[in-house]
Amino acid sequence: MDSVATPGRTLALVREKGLVPRKSRGQNFLVDANIVRKIARAAELGPGDTVVEIGPGLGALTQELAARAGLVIAIEIDRELFAALEETLAGRDNVRLVAGDALKVDFDRLVAGILGIGEGRLPTYKVVANLPYYITTPILIHLLTSRFRIAELVLMVQAEVGYRMLARPGGKDYGALSVVVQYYTEPAVVLKVPRTVFYPQPEVESLVLKLTCRTRPAVQVEDEDFFFRVVRAAFNQRRKTILNALVSLGVEKSEIMKALAGAGIDPRRRGETLGMEEFASISRTLQH
Ligand code: SAM
């Protein structure tokens, strides 16, 4: 089938299959072939690439990915979309449709199973998605903290969340999500996307980001769970000083004072001014 990424074809398909786009599942379908091409191009796909798409919807992005990559594995939660997908992806024999909730999928196991190889020999693969907005943060946490063999992710997200992922210390957008994303990846903006390229139109603008996974995390920590607990504690009470915010960890104030002094951090600073290395230094010291 020709590209489904036009308003006319998408509407016709939705009507023909009796579909009602579900807000609760973040169903905003791309109806602009130019944007679809730009997203796929950002992933720099070639015949040697395996790409996992989260939420193929009606297949707008899937069609373009299939034209460029060696293999596309598309995970869709909504079975009602499968009849439409079978039509838009007819003849694309390098696409595997998987019914399921991406939040619960072990991506490495899925890809290795489809490639028919052991997980230990799994080459890296890419993830590309126009993400359903309601799962943006949990899916990111799942993809990054599971340490799957992902080389890079090209993701369309709500602009506001995208700016949080990119934010540097000091700004209002900087928070725990910035630290998690930048700990595991190097994020960059690919393009801004207006609401008008979707059917139905969402309430907010979007941003396409490319996250290149680091071979080693941005800073060295002994215990990642504890590092992220420190980060979350610092941002949970943004108006407090770092000293008072870290008390919620259940550590003695005197210990926190010592850790801050060791890292050369003024205890009156706010968490949102601290860089990743400073968080790492605090967490290393507090653990001893
Ligand atoms: N890729 C299509 C496009 O760009 O037109 C559709 C994108 S739409 C924003 C998000 C898609 O993700 C929908 O098809 C929705 O049903 C699906 N989805 C929602 N939650 C999901 C989940 N937990 N796991 C897998 N797919 C999900």
pLDDT digit of tens for each residue in the chain (288 aa)? Answer: 789 999 999 999 999 999 999 999 999 999 999 999 999 999 999 999 999 999 999 999 999 999 999 999 999 999 999 999 999 999 999 999 999 999 999 999 999 999 999 999 999 999 999 999 999 999 999 999 999 999 999 999 999 999 999 999 999 999 999 999 999 999 999 999 999 999 999 999 999 999 999 999 999 999 999 999 999 999 998 889 999 999 999 999 999 999 999 999 999 999 999 999 999 999 999 987
Domain map (residue ranges) of the chain: 7-213, 224-286
25 in contact with ligand 1, CB cutoff 6 A = yes
pTM of the model: 0.97
Best residue among 73, 75, 77 to mutate for probing ligand 1's pocket (most ligand atoms within 8 Å of CB) is 77
The answer, yes or no, to whether any atom of ligand 1 lies below 6 A from the CB of 140, is no
| Residues paired with 52 in a beta bridge | 73, 127
128 CB under 6 A from ligand 1?
Answer: no
Give residue 161's pLDDT: 98
Q: Which fold has domain 224-286?
A: Helicase, Ruva Protein; domain 3 (1.10.8)
Q: Say if ligand 1 is within 6 A of residue 205 CB.
A: no
Topology of the domain comprising 7-213 = Rossmann fold (3.40.50)
In this structure, the residue with its CA closest to atom 6 of ligand 1 is 57
The 3-state secondary structure of the chain, one letter per residue: CCCCCCHHHHHHHHHHCCCCCCHHHCCCEECCHHHHHHHHHHCCCCCCCEEEEECCCCCHHHHHHHHHCCEEEEEECCHHHHHHHHHHCCCCCCEEEEECCHHHCCHHHHHHHHHCCCHHHCCCEEEEEECCHHHHHHHHHHHHHCCCCEEEEEEEEEHHHHHHHHCCCCCCCCCHHHHHHHHHEEEEEEEEECHHHEECCCCCCEEEEEEEECCCCCCCCCCHHHHHHHHHHHHHCCCCEHHHHHHHHCCCHHHHHHHHHHCCCCCCCEHHHCCHHHHHHHHHHHCC
Residue 36 CA, closest ligand 1 atom number: 4
Annotated binding-site residue numbers for S-adenosyl-L-methionine: 28, 30, 55, 76, 101, 130
